[in-house]
Structure 1
Amino acid sequence: MRRFISGLWSQVLQPMLRRPPRRQVAALCWREGERGVEVLLISSRGTGRWILPKGWPMRGKDLAGAALQEAWEEAGARFVETPAVPVGRFASLKVSDSGLPEPSEVMVFAAEVRELADDFPEQGQRRRRWAAPDEAAGLVEEAGLAELIRAFGRGRARPAR
């Protein structure tokens, strides 16, 4: 048994922990609401926790374009004409299809939402919620994402209009 555990550690777990984090992209979708800036959160499909629309880089799109594509597919977000702006990054653990956690670095791009469509690819699989940045930060689980949302709300990371 000891040999099995030692082999598992040296052949599987150690290399996995040394692997550089995979890169994901996320869209921090925002709008000017009646009481100031609001951030769009969506529910994850697996656990229902609040997250930003995110996914993997896509062939044929830059990172910002991939983030906006994810926001369309997962939240039905359509954006104003100004380009998405990088506002930061945070560390996350993405659970793979095999159930193992994979460290990932999520690059976040802010984009102003023009409207939310009623009909979009993942409409029956997710919930959407607008929240003030401090409230949104309190709803997400990842500490790095929460801080990024708070900084955005304070105007430190918000793109110029």
Structure 2
Amino acid sequence: MSATPETAEQIAALPVHRDKKGRLRVLMVTSRDRGRWVMPKGWKMDDKKDWQAAKIEALEEAGAVGFVSDKAIGTYHYDKRLENGRAIPCEVTVYPMIVEKLERRWKERKERKRRWFSFGKAAKLVDEPELSDLLKKQAKKPGRLSELEERSSAA
């Protein structure tokens, strides 16, 4: 009889900006393994607050620089596939980020692609149902992101 695996905790950034027409867009990156569209995410960091770790992941995986909220907008679950074929159940806490600029050169630029999408399109592209729901929810009620935009411009 095997023990039930514990859920590992990860953090993610939800990088957003307004395009030239004023529409809210979300920045997605491809995963390194199968090229699936995902948000920049990673493991918690012992010496960083979760929102700070999300900011680091956004820079390393997407080259995104900006203002990250210290308040999460939700969570989702997925199974992280390891190189040995095992899967670890993960809970990902998502922190919204207002992107102020995209770096031309960033740490994982040779391993990933990045692209802006509408929330609706991003929701259709991701594999995780809970992440899809979170993106759809943000599309319907972007108030929290608008508040974050105001805070980032005041900072």
Task: Give the alignment's TM-score, normalised by structure 2.
Answer: 0.88
Distance 1:25 1:48 in 2: 20
- 1:140 pairs, out of 121, 126, 129, with 126
Question: How far does residue 157 in structure 1 lie from its aligned partner after superposition?
Answer: 6.7
- CA RMSD of the aligned region, Å? 1.5
Contact 2:29 2:40 (C-alpha < 8 Å) held by counterparts: yes
Which amino acid in 2 is paired with 1:52?
M
Closer, same or farther in 2 for the Cα pair 1:66/1:59, shift >3 Å?
Answer: same
Q: Which moved more, 1:94-103 or 1:53-62?
A: 94-103
Task: Give the alignment's TM-score, normalised by structure 1.
Answer: 0.85
Number of equivalenced pairs: 146
Contact 1:85 1:111 (C-alpha < 8 Å) held by counterparts: no
Question: How far does residue 35 in structure 1 lie from its aligned partner after superposition?
Answer: 4.8
Question: How far does residue 97 in structure 1 lie from its aligned partner after superposition?
Answer: 3.1
Report SS of the residue matched to 1:109.
strand
Instruction: State the partner residue of 1:71.
Output: 58
Instruction: State the partner residue of 1:93.
Output: 79
Which amino acid in 1 is paired with 2:91?
E
- 1:45 pairs, out of 9, 12, 32, with 32
Question: How far does residue 84 in structure 1 lie from its aligned partner after superposition?
Answer: 4.5
Instruction: State the partner residue of 1:107.
Output: 93
% same residue: 33
Which amino acid in 1 is paired with 2:51?
A
Distance 1:128 1:111 in 2: 15
Distance 1:158 1:50 in 2: 23
Distance 1:79 1:35 in 2: 18
Contact 2:123 2:131 (C-alpha < 8 Å) held by counterparts: yes
Distance 2:22 2:120 in 1: 13
Question: How far does residue 99 in structure 1 lie from its aligned partner after superposition?
Answer: 1.4
The structure number with the bigger radius of gyration is 1
Instruction: State the partner residue of 1:56.
Output: 43
Structure 2 unaligned runs (5+)? 151-155
